[in-house]
Structures are given as C-alpha cells and as structure tokens.
Chain A
Amino acid sequence: MLIHRPADVLPSEITPRSLFERRREFLARSGAGLIAGAALWHGLPADARAAAKLQTTPSPLSTTEPLTEHKAVTTYNNFYEFGTDKSDPARNAGRMAVRPWTVAVEGLVGKPRRFDIDNLLKLAPLEERIYRMRCVEGWSMVIPWVGFPLAALLKEVEPLGSAKYVEFLTHYDPEIMMRRPVLDWPYGEGLRLDEALHPLTILAVGLYGEVLPNQNGAPVRLVVPWKYGFKSAKSIVTIRLTEQQPATAWNKAAPQEYGFYSNVNPEVSHPRWSQATERRIGELRKRPTLMFNGYAEQVAGLYQGMDLKKFY
C-alpha cells in the first residue's frame, strides 16, 4: 500500500538551484550591504542616529579637551577577541549578541547578584564622562563615555571586609570570537578595591550619547582613565570580589611588560615603547604623557609610599 506522505517542503519554498549555488555571493553581498549601511549610518549627522540616544547629565569630572572623532573612536579598537588588527573589532564585533545579557557580581560580597543589563542601566543616573584614554601602545583619545560610577554597583552588593580586589571577566564565545590562544581567554582584568571605588572609575554603557557600539565593549565595560587602556575590560559578564590579587590577561601573557597596576606613567618605560610621549589620534605630532594620564590630583593618593617603578 502506498501511503501518500506530503513532502516536507513545499515546492514553492525550495530555493532555485541557481540561487542556491550563488549563496556565498549572496552572503558576501549582504555583508557588503551591511558595511555600506554602516558607512551610511556613520555618515549621518549625529542627531539622525537618535534611535539609541541615552539620557545623560554632564559631570564635573569631564575634561574640556576637544573630542576624538566618533569614527576614530569606533573603528580603531583593541578588542583581541575579535581580531588583533585595530580595524578588526569594528568589522567583527557585530556578531556578538548584547541582549539578553547578565552581569554576575559575586565573591566576597554580602549580597551576590546577577544583574540583567537593562536593570543595570537603571542602577544609577547616567552621566557623560569625557575622559582621556591612553593606550599602552603610545596613542591616546578623548572619549565622551556614558556611564555611572562602579562604586554605585559595588554598594548594591555590599563588599565584605575581607574583599581587597575586584576581578572583571569579559564575555568569551569561541563560536564568534578568536580561538587561537593569543591571550588566556576569557580576558580577565582587576583593580584594587579602593581603585574600583574611586569616583573616576566607571562602568560605561555608551559613548557620544549613544549605546556603546559592540567594538567598544558593549553592553557594559570598565573605564579607568588613569590606567593604560587594556585595564578597562570590555563586555563584562562577571565581577568578582576577592582577597587575593586576581591574575590579569596581559600580565599572564608578558609579566615583565604589563604589571597589575599599569598606571599611566611617563617615567616608567615599557620595554617596547617609551611612555614619555603619546600621539593623540587626529594629531600629527606627539605630546608629552602626563602622570596618571593627567589625573594625578585625583588618584596619586592611592599610591602613596609605593614604588611605581616596581609596581608598574
């Protein structure tokens, strides 16, 4: 007996062979379309990109220096999970889904919590913080971040008396990120608790008044403006309070080059770059690098009595 079983797929749904065989071309084209779309998007005047605007209040901690162009801030990034060339993250970070997203705050705290990203955004009023950003590679930017003090989050979880350090872990998904062990994934960073509680230390969720682009560490990243950029971990999923100093990604990769503190310091050279000067992106000539990236007045007290050549 013949049982008439309907075909699983309607003939009308079958992709014509000619199209199927051009699927890669289609993918390539839609990729090109995306890039063109993104180019168009960035070419639009700022107010036309209003979809992702964030409500912010200005901060007295902001610098009044001229801002680095939006295009430079969002296309010149070190985010090794998405490639080691500085133009790679802008190309590849779009693969990362930033919703749903939770940030676990755990370890030596009275009230460990998992924050849904949308609740995290409402934890404290969002401020615009215009900070200098100095990369260990000898270049710098001025970036209008949007965020709130990390202290506001830490207060919520009530750190225990035994907590001395805060560890930050970046999201790692080998399906969409680099698999070669260039660094020990997931990317880990850390601060001393008093550094983490400092009013300059923020969790950033946006820049230029808009939601953070993925390549800049969406949906939430750390910004510690007196330290070299790599200390400011991106796309954070775990914040852990510890008693012991946490291991950090670059310190593990090259301990003689990247210390735990990594404060911007023109007097302590990196083995491969003099740290005495820097090139502000958009400028031709180098400028002198300032102690603690120009935030000495606010943060020098944290390191009183410490030999900064030893604790680099």
Chain B
Amino acid sequence: MSLSLKTPSAATLSAIKAIVFVLCLLPAANLALGWRADALGANPIETITRASGEWTLRLLLITLAVTPLRRLTGLHWLLRLRRMLGLFAFAYAAAHFAIYLWLDQFFDWRAIALDILDRPFITVGFAAFVLLIPLAATSNSLAIRRLGGRRWQSLHRSVYGIAILAVVHFWWLVKADVLEPAIYALILAGLLGVRAWWRELERRRQLSVPPPAKHLQRPVIRIVPK
C-alpha cells in the first residue's frame, strides 16, 4: 500500500473511500441509536428532522468544497470522493423529506400541500429536494456516458443554486437567531465565490493569450464566448 498522499495507490484510495463512507453513516447511526434509547430529548421528531436537514446542508457544502480543495492542495484524487459525498447529501435530504412526510405530517397530504404552497421556507426546501433528484439519478458512470461530459457537467452545476436554496430554507425556518444559518451562508459564499474568482482569472488568461496557430489547436472548454 502506497503511503503517498499525492498519488495514493488503488488500495489506499479504496481504504479512504471506505473510511469516508463510514464517517458519512455515523450521524444517521447516532440518530437511530438515540431514537431507540429515547435519548433525543423531549421532541425526538424535531431532533431528527433538524439533524437530517443540517447533515444534508453540511454534506452539500463538503461536496462543493472538493473542487476548491483539490485545486488548492493538488490532491486530485479528492475528486474520486465527490460522487459518494454528493449521494450521501442526497440520502440525508431524502431522509429529511421522508421524516417530514411520515413522522411530522403522517401523510396528511392536504396539510403537506398547504405547507409547500403557503410556507416559503418549505417551498424552497421542497424545491431544493426535487432539484437534487436528477443529480442523484445521474451520479453514475453510465449517465455521464449517455449525457456526454459537457451536458452532464452543466446539469450538475445546478447544485450551486440548490445549495443556495438549502441555506435559504434554513434561514427562513429560524425564528430570530440567524447565527447558524449565517455561518452556512458564509461558507457557501466562500465556496461559490472562489469558483467565480477562478473563472474570472481563467477568462482574463484566455483573453490575454493569443490564439495558437491553427495546427496546434486542441479542443479546449472555452468559457469566453468566441
């Protein structure tokens, strides 16, 4: 097993993946055990609703941190963890939604429809969840091949907007103390801001570099319109 952090061997990478997988399961296991032991406080349904929502948000932000981290550290294998992290974010979102439908509303469809229509924080939360579904459904190699890299990538860029909706969902839920949602908003702003900044740098670079001679041109993904 290679111990090089820069270019881990296949075996090391598998081990890292297994560890991340288990780490992502820990919050869920913790809640499940807490539920069984009746150790989730006076309002356990509120506790698991809240916790599953927060872990969705955290995992979304961690997923969004992969690209900047990879670029800053040069650890390109981090990209290999992104799909799993994104799918875990979706799994926690699905659990959050299921808890709401089942334990909170007990499938009272009328009340659920009214909630989605009348309560802005539920409207945006619901929208964020629905928009995550196509991303989760195309988080596999087959979908990437079918869609083609370019189209797959533009579809998956919608995660930026989804993360914003998720933070707004939390912000609007809070009654008065917005400190916690503000922290998430700040982190998200950093993660999106660094992308915007790098994109701007790339745009400037492309504008300043004279186009190569015709015979040297390779297909490049241009972000500056021709």
Q: Given that A269-B118, A286-B106 are known contacts, is A80 also in contact with B176, CB under 8 Å in the complex?
A: yes
Number of interface residues of B (CB under 8 A): 21
Binds B, one of A15-23, A71-79, A109-117, A151-159: A71-79
Q: Given that A284-B45, A286-B106 are known contacts, is A272 also in contact with B172, CB under 8 Å in the complex?
A: yes
Binds B, one of A160-168, A235-243, A275-283, A304-312: A275-283
A180 at the interface (CB under 8 A from B): yes
Docked Cα-Cα span, A75 to B105, in Å, equals 25
* Residue contact B111 to A276, C-beta cutoff 8 Å: yes
B119 at the interface (CB under 8 A from A): yes
* Residue contact B176 to A182, C-beta cutoff 8 Å: yes
Kindly provide the distance from the CB of B35 to the nearest chain A CB, expressed in whole angstroms.
Answer: 12
What would 5 more interface pairs be, CB under 8 Å, given A254-B175, A286-B106? A75-B41, A86-B41, A180-B179, A183-B176, A271-B119
* Residue contact B119 to A272, C-beta cutoff 8 Å: yes
Secondary structure call for the A interface: loop
Please, which residue of chain B has its CB at the minimum distance from the CB of A68?
B42
Docked Cα-Cα span, A269 to B114, in Å, equals 11
The 6 residue pairs across chains A and B that have the minimum distance between CB atoms: A76-B42, A72-B42, A84-B177, A182-B177, A182-B176, A281-B42
A285 at the interface (CB under 8 A from B): yes
Kindly provide the distance from the CB of B12 to the nearest chain A CB, expressed in whole angstroms.
Answer: 38
* Residue contact B177 to A272, C-beta cutoff 8 Å: no
B202 at the interface (CB under 8 A from A): no
Please, which residue of chain A has its CB at the minimum distance from the CB of B119?
A272
Docked Cα-Cα span, A245 to B92, in Å, equals 47
Docked Cα-Cα span, A84 to B180, in Å, equals 11
Docked Cα-Cα span, A86 to B106, in Å, equals 24
Q: Mark A82-116, 1 if CB is under 8 A from B, else 0.
A: 00101100000000000000000000000000000
Chain B residues numbered 31-84 whose CB sits less than 8 Å from any CB in chain A: 41-43, 45-46
B173 at the interface (CB under 8 A from A): yes
A61 at the interface (CB under 8 A from B): no
> Using Cβ atoms and an 8 Å threshold, which residues of chain A touch B119?
271-274
> Using Cβ atoms and an 8 Å threshold, which residues of chain B touch A286?
105-106
Docked Cα-Cα span, A31 to B119, in Å, equals 41
A139 at the interface (CB under 8 A from B): yes
> Using Cβ atoms and an 8 Å threshold, which residues of chain B touch A139?
43, 46
A253 at the interface (CB under 8 A from B): yes
> Using Cβ atoms and an 8 Å threshold, which residues of chain A touch B200?
none
Docked Cα-Cα span, A180 to B103, in Å, equals 34
Docked Cα-Cα span, A254 to B175, in Å, equals 9
Q: Given that A274-B114, A274-B115, A284-B103 are known contacts, is A253 also in contact with B176, CB under 8 Å in the complex?
A: yes
> Using Cβ atoms and an 8 Å threshold, which residues of chain A touch B106?
285-286
Docked Cα-Cα span, A69 to B41, in Å, equals 12
> Using Cβ atoms and an 8 Å threshold, which residues of chain B touch A254?
175-176
